[in-house]
């Protein structure tokens, strides 16, 4: 444990500084853990845990438990730490499998750099819809063997500790809905924990919105830029840029250097650099965004909406030029976000999309038309939408008709009752709401159907 004494001492000092920096508890999870950590474990308690599960707790985490603290006031009595903190040793060990006594000591199967293809193969057993609870637990235990649950990130996400193998001591981010695991960039638990404190002290984690600490590389803006410029592979470069994207403030001088890098970059790096320029200096990024429309229109629409929504009107000409040719549902969705954000009538641009071959585009088009204050002008589009082949599109058209009580809708509503005699995809419940706005009910309208 002596090798970690200096680091633990440093962490104790930084912990006090972080708590002072985040007096208002704006760091994600701080309202829960309140920067409280209980007294350390005894060596006897740690040894008892290791003997119970026939494992050896990696030295860095052992040092944390024995020299700093164990448990606190957060979720599941967790100690202060990233997200909702660090579980007390021995608590929630069954979060990944109901048989931790079997699987904690098994060799670790997951590793940094695990490809999407390999992960897809690993989770093939879960494609069996007839899998019993016991089979499900066995499959889960095998995939996450050798991983000690460390703490909750909320919902289905948690962080865990690798107990054995070449990556012993590393922290890994896990989603119980079986998204591919994401390993942190630090080699030890203490390095990961100290980075969390550093980013609180620097202000990087003091946010009004949740942050995904530990999913990107750590380091200062200057350090990350230097690492980017010296890297020999695109993978490392992209990790550096992704980490820089999490920074709240980037000096103007660095932004100008990033502009030069953008002009030289290709592929994923170029896209990330454009995102960064848009976030921190929209006017500088604007001509690059316009040129990038021919490369990735979705990315351009996303960056503008995320970082410069109030400038949406400036992209009206680009949208008019491209909207009729969009065939991807996600690109069309962000296109409509910009149209809604801009103070101009977008109805004539969106109306043709209600007849697009892509179901997702049709549904988005009706949803967007429904936000117009003069949406009644597009009644014929809505009537056509009520006869769409897709129940989802019909639902969007019905919901968009909120507040429209034109009697010309009644024949279309009658056809819906004939087509959907019983509830499907919430169509009848939404139809009932539209009829109620007209002073009618489904039973009353049903009486007007032939044969009723």
Q: Where are the domains of the chain?
A: 2-201, 216-292, 345-452
Domain 2-201: CATH superfamily is SMI1/KNR4-like (3.40.1580.10)
Mean pLDDT of the 202-225 span = 88
Please tell me whether the overall predicted TM-score, pTM, comes out greater than 0.95 for this model: no
pLDDT above 70 for 375: yes
**pLDDT score for 249:** 87
3-state SS, one letter per residue, for the chain? CHHHHHHHHHHHHHHHHHHHHCCCCCCCCHHHHCCCCCCCCCHHHHHHHHHHHCCCCCHHHHHHHHHCCCCCCCHHHCECCCCCCECCCCCCCCCCCCCHHHHCCCCCCCCCCCCHHHHHHHCHHHHCCCCCHHHHHHHHHHHCCCEEEEEEEECCEEEEEECCCCCCCCEEEEECCCCCCEECCCCCHHHHHHHHHHHHHCCCCCCCCCCCCCCCCCCCHHHHHHHHHHCCCHHHHHHHHHHHHCCCCCCHHHHHHHHHHHHHCCHHHHHHHHHHHHHHCHHHHHHHHHHHCCCCHHHHHHHHHHHCHHHHHHHHHHHHHHHHHCCCHHHHHHHHHHHHHCCCCCHHHHHHHHHCCCHHHHHHHHHHHCCCCCHHHHHHHHHHHCCCCCHHHHHHHHHHCCCCCCHHHHHHHHHHHHHCCCCCCCHHHHHHHHHHHCCCCHHHHHCCCCCC
**Span 64-91, pLDDT tens digits:** 999 999 999 999 999 999 999 999 999 9
Name the band, by pLDDT with cuts 50, 70 and 90, for residue 451. Answer: low
**pLDDT score for 2:** 77
Options 1.20.58.110, 3.20.20.70, 1.25.10.10, 1.10.10.10; CATH for 345-452 is: 1.25.10.10
């Amino acid at each position: 444990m002596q090798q970690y004494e200096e680091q633990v001492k440093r962490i104790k000092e930084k912990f006090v500084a972080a708590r002072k920096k985040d007096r208002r508890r704006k760091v994600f999870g701080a309202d829960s853990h309140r920067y409280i950590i209980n007294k350390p474990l005894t060596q006897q308690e740690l040894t008892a845990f290791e003997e119970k599960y026939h494992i050896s707790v990696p030295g860095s985490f052992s040092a944390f438990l024995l020299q700093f603290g164990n448990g606190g006031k957060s979720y599941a009595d967790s100690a202060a730490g990233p997200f909702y903190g660090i579980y007390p040793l021995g608590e929630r060990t069954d979060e990944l499998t109901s048989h931790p006594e079997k699987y904690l000591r098994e060799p670790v199967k997951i590793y940094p750099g695990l490809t999407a293809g390999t992960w897809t193969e690993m989770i093939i057993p879960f494609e069996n819809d007839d899998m019993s609870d016991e089979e499900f637990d066995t499959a889960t235990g095998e995939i996450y063997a050798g991983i000690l649950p460390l703490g909750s990130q909320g919902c289905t996400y948690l962080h865990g500790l690798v107990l054995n193998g070449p990556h012993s001591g590393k922290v890994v981010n896990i989603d119980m809905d079986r998204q591919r695991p994401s390993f942190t960039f630090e080699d030890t638990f203490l390095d990961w924990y100290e980075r969390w404190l550093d980013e609180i002290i620097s202000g990087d984690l003091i946010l009004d919105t949740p942050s995904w600490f530990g999913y990107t590389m750590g380091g200062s803006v200057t350090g990350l830029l230097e690492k980017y410029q010296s890297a020999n592979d695109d993978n490392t470069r992209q990790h550096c840029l992704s980490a820089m994207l999490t920074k709240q403030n980037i000096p103007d001088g660095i932004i100008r250097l990033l502009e030069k890098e953008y002009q030289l970059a290709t592929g994923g790096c170029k896209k990330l650099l454009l995102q960064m320029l848009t976030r921190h200096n929209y006017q500088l990024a604007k001509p690059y965004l316009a040129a990038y429309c021919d490369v990735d229109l979705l990315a351009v629409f996303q960056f503008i909406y995320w970082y410069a929504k109030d400038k949406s009107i400036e992209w009206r000409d680009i949208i008019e030029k491209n909207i009729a040719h969009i065939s991807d549902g996600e690109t069309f969705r962000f296109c409509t976000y910009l149209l809604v954000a801009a103070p101009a009538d977008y109805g004539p641009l969106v109306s043709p999309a209600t007849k697009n071959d892509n179901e997702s585009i049709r549904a988005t088009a009706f949803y967007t038309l429904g936000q117009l204050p003069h949406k009644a002008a597009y009644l014929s589009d809505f009537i056509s939408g009520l006869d769409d082949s897709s129940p989802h599109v019909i639902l969007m058209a019905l919901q968009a008709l909120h507040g429209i009580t034109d009697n010309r809708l009644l024949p279309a509503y009658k056809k819906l009752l004939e087509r959907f005699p019983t509830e499907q995809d919430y169509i009848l419940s939404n139809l009932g709401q539209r009829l109620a706005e007209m002073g009618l009910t489904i039973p009353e309208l049903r009486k007007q159907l032939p044969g009723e």
